[in-house]
Amino acid sequence: MKTYLVTGGCGFIGANFIRGMFEKHGNDVRILNLDKLTYAGNPANLKAVGNNADYIFIKGDICDKNLVNGLFRSYDIDYVVHFAAESHVDRSILSADEFVRTNILGTTILLDAAKSAWETDEGYLDGVKYLQISTDEVYGSLGETGYFTEMTPLDPHSPYSASKASADMLVKSYFDTHKLPVNITRCSNNYGPYQYPEKLIPLLIQNCLEKKPITVYGDGMNIRDWLYVNDHCRAIDMVLHHGTIGEVYNIGGHNEKTNIDIVRLVIGYLHENYDPDIDDSLITYVADRKGHDRRYAINPEKIERTLGWTPETSFAEGIELTIRWYLENTEWLGNLKQISV
Ligand SMILES: NC(=O)c1ccc[n+]([C@@H]2O[C@H](COP(=O)([O-])OP(=O)(O)OC[C@H]3O[C@@H](n4cnc5c(N)ncnc54)[C@H](O)[C@@H]3O)[C@@H](O)[C@H]2O)c1
């Protein structure tokens, strides 16, 4: 049995990852979930595994050095999968402090704790690995053509992406300097169940259900590359177990959509299948987000070629699964901590 320290496991991707790991690996995994439960962390996301004896929840902050070191002393941790972050660009534009603290300082504390727990006279314990969950936003913005590869220089524009790029550089430095066994994954925009409704797709669904205005930044033509969350989680599992130490892996499904296309698609689905009063009249254009990146698009060739990963869920299938999940889980939506930006 392998022991995983997952950080931020009560958030959107972390919770989908933990549930997926128990489904796939059953009794072969023990998972410690260290989560501070910010507004974005919701233990209800993990109700399905709550009674599993191999699931251990620790409410706490990754910036709490004593706590993090104590976890390494108390458990034989084989893997760190570091999701915990302040993750919303709009919040980082209003105030960057927490992004610097959690995303940069928190990463350093985890790296130091892993290094001291795993280091031996001959190097590091066998099979251990630290995996940094990063984002395509560290690469900045693309023009109308081209893709982000792992060689694309980092050029973050928002305080959020700058804090994630800083964390990536720290992870790289622990590999370069200390030979700590690490990988970094950089994924495109995720969508799926359990995403806090401040991000585009769940916010859109929630506002449609409540017949609230749907605000679209600028001309709505910003392009994001969308991946169903379970496909991201499968990629993380593969990189963790088969990725070459020290390497970065981009993850994406060649699924570029403009924001306005996503808005129209979700409205169209709900209009057809849920309530004919939900229509395009809900759309309101607002001033563009400051420093708004125009286009993100991942080239996933490396992970496809070297690890054999490919996305399994088409966008048509994934978006329907996602909308239906929110329709069936209005109680989950209603119980969320409400913190307005
Ligand atoms: N959502 C996406 O589309 C996307 C895409 C690529 C990469 N990522 C990255 O994946 C990771 C997870 O993203 P998400 O969308 O699930 O985020 P999220 O905001 O839904 O969840 C973040 C989780 O981290 C926890 N957390 C925050 N600060 C903490 C701290 N100081 N100590 C302990 N726990 C803390 C929160 O309580 C929450 O459970 C992030 O690192 C993000 O940068 C996200």
pLDDT, tens digit, 9 for 90 and up, residues 63-102: 999 999 999 999 999 999 999 999 999 999 999 999 999 9
* Ligand 1 mutation target, pool 5, 83, 194, most atoms within 8 A of CB: 83
Nearest to 82 by CA among 193, 199, 211, 168: 168
Per-residue pLDDT for 246 more than 80?
yes
pLDDT at 337: 60
pLDDT at 5: 98
**To the nearest whole number, what is the mean pLDDT of the chain?**
95
30 C-alpha to ligand 1 centroid (Å):
21
281 C-alpha to ligand 1 centroid (Å):
33
Answer yes or no: are the C-beta atoms of 84 and 35 closer than 8 Å. Answer: yes
Per-residue pLDDT for 233 more than 80?
yes
Per-residue pLDDT for 172 more than 50?
yes
Percent of the chain surpassing pLDDT 90: 92
Give the residue whose CA is nearest to atom 36 of ligand 1.
41
Give the residue whose CA is nearest to atom 32 of ligand 1.
61
pLDDT at 341: 43
pLDDT at 249: 98
280 C-alpha to ligand 1 centroid (Å):
31
Point out the catalytic residue in the list 160, 174, 217, 269: 160
Beta carbon of 91 within 6 Å of any ligand 1 atom:
no
Nearest to 224 by CA among 264, 250, 261, 184: 261
Q: Catalytic site residue 160?
A: yes
Per-residue pLDDT for 292 more than 50?
yes
pLDDT at 336: 81
For each of the domains in the chain, give its residue range(s) and CATH number, in order of start.
2-190+228-252 (3.40.50.720)
Beta carbon of 13 within 6 Å of any ligand 1 atom:
yes
Point out the catalytic residue in the list 35, 61, 136, 168: 136
- In the chain the first and final C-alpha atoms are separated, in Å, by 42
pLDDT digit string, tens, across residues 124-157: 999 999 999 999 999 999 999 999 999 999 999 9
84 C-alpha to ligand 1 centroid (Å):
4
CA distance 333 to 108: 33
* Ligand 1 mutation target, pool 17, 38, 224, most atoms within 8 A of CB: 38
Two tokens at 154?
């980092």
pLDDT at 9: 98
Beta carbon of 14 within 6 Å of any ligand 1 atom:
yes
201 C-alpha to ligand 1 centroid (Å):
16
Residue ranges of the alpha helices (H) in 227-308? 229-242, 259-273, 301-307
CA dist list (Å): 321 to 146, 160, 230: 30, 29, 12
Two tokens at 79?
């893997």
Q: What are residue 120's DSSP bridge partners?
A: 123
122 C-alpha to ligand 1 centroid (Å):
34
Per-residue pLDDT for 340 more than 50?
no
List strand residue ranges (DSSP E) for the chain, in order.
2-7, 29-35, 55-59, 79-82, 119-120, 123-124, 129-135, 182-187, 189-191, 214-217, 223-228, 248-251, 256-258, 283-286
- pTM for the structure as a whole: 0.96
Beta carbon of 196 within 6 Å of any ligand 1 atom:
yes
Q: Catalytic site residue 136?
A: yes
